[in-house]
């Protein structure tokens, strides 16, 4: 799996739209060589790709919506996903699975709490518990991070706090395993600290294509101490894909409206989590995608862009869209720099 996504093309000209300018490349999954597990790595972004290759533009990625502060006992998908701009649709609740699967290694215990899966997203929440002599921090923290990042008062650093308490500082990272089989090509990760030795984690993966999945999945939890020693806990659990509520084929009125790109028919799928849109973008090369893309009927969404898939073809995908699409879907393509309209393309539902 060697897929590339251009989310730059989804930069909105309206505050309703979320994804902004970034290009990244999905490399072969190998959590064992995660580069961000170093003790001095400190990333302020609380949601990010596991294999971010390069920032091409000086812009902000909000590909996975930022998560606000939660109640100390909140660990469900709905609580962890909640943001200032949106919540999960109520329809998701019927498909959220409750879990009790757990695993442990030495004095670290991990438990899967909830999961949700559809054709565009996989979301998993889990709890990580350390022993009384442990302090758990996220993988983007460092010994120099203020203790406020794990919910404590004051500006004392994690390293100083751990030494003062005579406890071991551990950095925790969670990720889905077997991502190729699950169709996951990008992940975000966020966490909450109800106490210094407890973490609630949300792992959210973006899926590619249309294939259904069901059966055993695995979540990997990686723990590293301040000296660089790592341990790995793998928690198997059962994952079931939610049924799509509706799906239809939409035909563009001007397939050649974009220079260097031929627009294919679009598949629009109504999932419990929102609307997923997918169409083939037959492009001469990557540089053809130098424009913003907005969808008139979609008021907000959670990720998307133009993706180079394993078949060597580009596809447009948008996930967890909110809005109302009946028989018409209108795409607006505007120049990234000038804001001038390049083309408006109307897709009509195929009868």
Residue 132 DSSP class: T
* Choices 2.60.98, 2.60.40, 2.30.40, 3.40.50: CATH for 246-349: 2.60.40
35 vs 176: CA distance, rounded Å = 16
What are the boundaries of each domain within the chain? 29-240, 246-349
pLDDT for the residue 87: 84
pLDDT of residue 159: 95
3-class state of residue 323 by DSSP:
strand
323 CB-near residues (< 8 Å, 6+ apart): 275, 295, 297, 298, 299, 300
pLDDT at 216: 86
Tell which residue, 221, 222, 232, has the closest CA to residue 126. 221
Q: Rounded distance, CA 181 to CA 281, Å?
A: 24
- Cα–Cα distance, 239 to 204 (Å, whole number): 13
**Cα–Cα separations (whole angstroms), residue 261 to 2, 286, 300:** 22, 10, 25
Model pTM score: 0.77
Closest CA to 233 of 347, 109, 146: 109
Ordered mean pLDDT values, 10 residues apiece, the chain (351 residues): 62 33 28 28 33 28 31 68 76 94 92 94 95 93 94 92 95 90 86 94 84 80 87 93 88 96 95 94 89 93 86 91 94 92 96 83
Q: What is the pLDDT of residue 3?
A: 62
- The CA distance from 218 to 350, in Å, is 39
3-state class (DSSP) for residue 190: strand
C-alpha span between 270 and 324 (Å, rounded)? 10
């Amino acid at each position: 799996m060697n897929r590339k996504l251009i989310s730059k093309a989804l930069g909105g000209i309206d505050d309703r739209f979320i994804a902004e300018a970034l290009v990244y490349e999905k490399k072969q999954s190998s959590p064992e060589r995660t580069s961000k597990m170093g003790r001095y790595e400190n990333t302020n972004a609380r949601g990010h790709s596991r294999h971010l290759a390069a920032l091409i533009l000086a812009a902000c990625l909000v590909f996975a919506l930022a998560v606000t502060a939660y109640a100390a006992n909140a660990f469900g998908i709905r609580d962890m996903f909640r943001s200032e701009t949106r919540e999960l649709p109520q329809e998701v609740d019927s498909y959220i699975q409750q879990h009790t699967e757990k695993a442990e290694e030495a004095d670290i215990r991990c438990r899967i709490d909830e999961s949700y899966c559809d054709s565009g997203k996989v979301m998993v929440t889990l709890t990580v518990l350390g022993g009384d002599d442990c302090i758990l921090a996220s993988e983007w923290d460092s010994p120099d991070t203020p203790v406020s990042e794990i919910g404590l008062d004051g500006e004392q650093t994690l390293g100083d706090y751990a030494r003062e308490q005579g406890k071991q500082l551990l950095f925790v990272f969670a990720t889905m395993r077997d991502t190729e089989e699950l169709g996951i090509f990008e992940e975000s990760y966020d966490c909450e600290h109800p106490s210094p030795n407890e973490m609630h984690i949300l792992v959210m993966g973006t899926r590619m294509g249309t294939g259904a999945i069901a059966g055993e999945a695995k979540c990997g939890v990686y723990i590293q101490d301040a000296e660089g020693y790592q341990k790995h806990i793998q928690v198997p659990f059962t994952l079931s894909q939610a049924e799509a509520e509706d799906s239809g084929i939409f035909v563009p009125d001007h397939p050649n409206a974009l220079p260097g790109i031929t627009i294919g028919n679009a598949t629009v799928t109504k999932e419990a989590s929102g609307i997923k849109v997918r169409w083939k973008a037959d492009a001469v090369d990557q540089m053809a995608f130098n424009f913003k893309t907005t969808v008139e009927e979609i008021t907000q969404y959670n990720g998307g862009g133009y993706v180079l898939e394993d078949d060597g073809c580009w596809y447009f995908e948008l996930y967890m869209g909110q809005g109302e699409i009946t028989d018409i879907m209108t795409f607006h393509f505007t120049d990234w720099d000038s804001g001038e309209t390049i083309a408006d393309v109307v897709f009509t539902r195929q009868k």
